Amino acid sequence: MPEILDHERAADVAELLHDARLVTITGMAGVGKTRLAREVARSAGLPAFGLDLTECRAPGMLPQAVAGVLGLARYTDLPPAEALARTLLNRSALLVLDTCEHLTVACAELAAYLLDAAPGLRILATSRRTLSVEGERVLRLGPLRAEYSVRLLMRRAAAYGAVLPDYMAARICAYLDGDPLSIELAARRLRHMSGKRLSERLSMPGERFTLLTDGPTEPLRHHTLRAAIGWSHELCTREERLLWARLSAFPAEFAAGQAELLFPGGARPADLAAASVLLATADGRYLLPLGHREYGADWLAQLG
């Protein structure tokens, strides 16, 4: 069933790319942005070039990093951005820029430049924040629905040799946030722990960060849930971090007006929603996912 969902989401992105030349997939930590982008690239029907920008920390090195993926050593006498523009000028291609959130300004500038120079180019970006480029279309990935989460956990647990009945999978998923990363980390924990014990431990505040570890080492921030959420925290401004910590006191959905009345000045809930920290509900309210709430509570405790 999760594979069907991936296929449906990929079709949505492909439709957006048909109408717009720049599409950005956004969403909270571990929600599956990279996986979806790769699925889209595989079925795009265009030559696709992908680049994970996790290790590209200097904005000025972005054009060179992209040029390296396209093998543009023959253009060593040209600035990398110009070499890219010349190479892509008369080509139809899809460029995938994965993990742009720490380089949003540089990615926005390069995307605008290349799209203007190369009419046949389309760009698919993944980022916890949008690039805010003219003509950009955005697909926001939300958490998996409960039934998808349960099925995914049961399947991943089985892959690790753990038999998990649906009622126990549902109990565990109630303490997760519907993101594939948390589900994968929980499934790995079931190699050494019963479903009942995992459920009990997850119900204890703060235990998720002790339990949801031992994930993939690439990218390193997905190795643990704390690292994945910490990456978002690192990219927030001081004001956004403070609001995040304060909002951890809300146990459920809340209205923007409530937060702004209690915590006037500084960042607003909309700022954290734009950073894929808060989830916006259909009725205009906000929700801080459980993992982000506990991370914020830890930060609040440190602030005193």
State the pLDDT at residue 70: 84
Backbone angles phi, psi at 291, to 5 degrees: -60, -45
Same-domain check for residues 150 and 42: no
The model's pTM is 0.93
230 domain residue, yes or no: no
Last residue of a domain, one of 225, 255, 284: 225
Same-domain check for residues 128 and 197: no
231 domain residue, yes or no: no
157 domain residue, yes or no: yes
Same-domain check for residues 174 and 263: no
66 domain residue, yes or no: yes
Whichever domain contains 136, its CATH number is 3.40.50.300
Same-domain check for residues 219 and 245: no
153 domain residue, yes or no: yes
Same-domain check for residues 185 and 240: no
How buried is 165 (Cβ within 10 angstroms: 0-12 exposed, 13-18 middle, 19+ buried)?
A: exposed
* Cα distance between residue 68 and residue 45, in whole Å: 23
- Per-residue tens of pLDDT for the chain, all 304 residues: 455 566 678 888 989 999 999 999 999 999 999 999 999 999 888 899 999 999 898 999 999 999 988 877 655 678 889 989 999 998 999 999 999 999 999 999 999 999 999 999 999 999 999 999 999 999 999 999 999 999 999 999 999 999 999 999 999 999 999 999 999 999 999 999 999 999 999 999 889 999 999 888 778 888 999 999 999 999 999 999 999 999 999 888 999 999 999 999 899 999 999 999 999 998 889 999 999 999 999 998 887 6
Domain with 212, as residue range(s), is: 146-225
State the pLDDT at residue 1: 47
* Cα distance between residue 63 and residue 139, in whole Å: 25
State the pLDDT at residue 282: 85
For 161: left if phi > 0, alpha if psi spans -120 to 50, otherwise beta; the answer is: left
Same-domain check for residues 61 and 174: no
- Tokens 């409530």: give the residue: 258
pLDDT tens, 242-262?
A: 999 999 998 889 999 999 999
Same-domain check for residues 102 and 198: no
Find the angle CA(265)-CA(138)-CA(17) to the nearest 5 degrees: 165
Same-domain check for residues 42 and 74: yes
Same-domain check for residues 133 and 203: no
* Cα distance between residue 77 and residue 205, in whole Å: 57
Contact 66, 20 (CB under 8 A): no
Same-domain check for residues 36 and 85: yes
What is the number of domains present in the chain? Answer: 3
State the pLDDT at residue 103: 97
Last residue of a domain, one of 115, 141, 167: 141
* Cα distance between residue 62 and residue 68, in whole Å: 10
**CA 119 from chain center: how many Å?**
28
Give the chain's radius of gyration (CA, Å).
20
Strand stretches in 28-142, DSSP E:
48-52, 93-98, 121-126, 137-141
- Tokens 């995307």: give the residue: 111
